[in-house]
Amino acid sequence: MTAQDAPAPRHKNAKARREKKKIEGPTEEVRRKDGVTVVSMPKRSFPERVRLYFKGVAAESRRVSWPSKQQVTGGTITTLFILVVFSIYLGGMDWMLRSLTMTLGL
């Protein structure tokens, strides 16, 4: 089986399919001469497209797995540690190169 023959990915459950259908609305499938199926949707007005966009954003936000407080704290501490290490490294390199250029009179 080639990648072209593979079935399109399906939603995990019926509830997700119903939500998607509600958001996207009716579609029209057209099979072209080369065998490719194209799904087209009717053109919507600008306010309706904006409303559907934000509705999709809200639906996606509900499915996001947010990190726990412990994970956020750990990530913040790691970031600050790396920031301090690189600051010390860059400060040391700056001091060393400045001292070297002053010594050489450049």
| DSSP per residue, 40-67 | E-----HHHHHHHHHHHHHHHHHH--PP
Same domain, 51 and 70: no
CA distance 65 to 16: 16
Q: Please tell me the predicted confidence (pLDDT) of residue 44.
A: 79
Query: What distances in angstroms separate CA 7 from CA 14, 24, 97, one per listed residue?
Result: 17, 21, 61
Q: Please tell me the predicted confidence (pLDDT) of residue 7.
A: 60
pLDDT mean over 46-69: 90
Flag whether pLDDT at 52 surpasses 80: yes
Confidence band, pLDDT 50/70/90 cuts, at residue 64: confident
Q: Domain range for residue 56?
A: 14-63
Same domain, 100 and 70: yes
pTM value surpassing 0.85: no
Confidence band, pLDDT 50/70/90 cuts, at residue 43: confident
Q: Please tell me the predicted confidence (pLDDT) of residue 77.
A: 98
Q: Count of domains in the chain?
A: 2
Same domain, 76 and 45: no
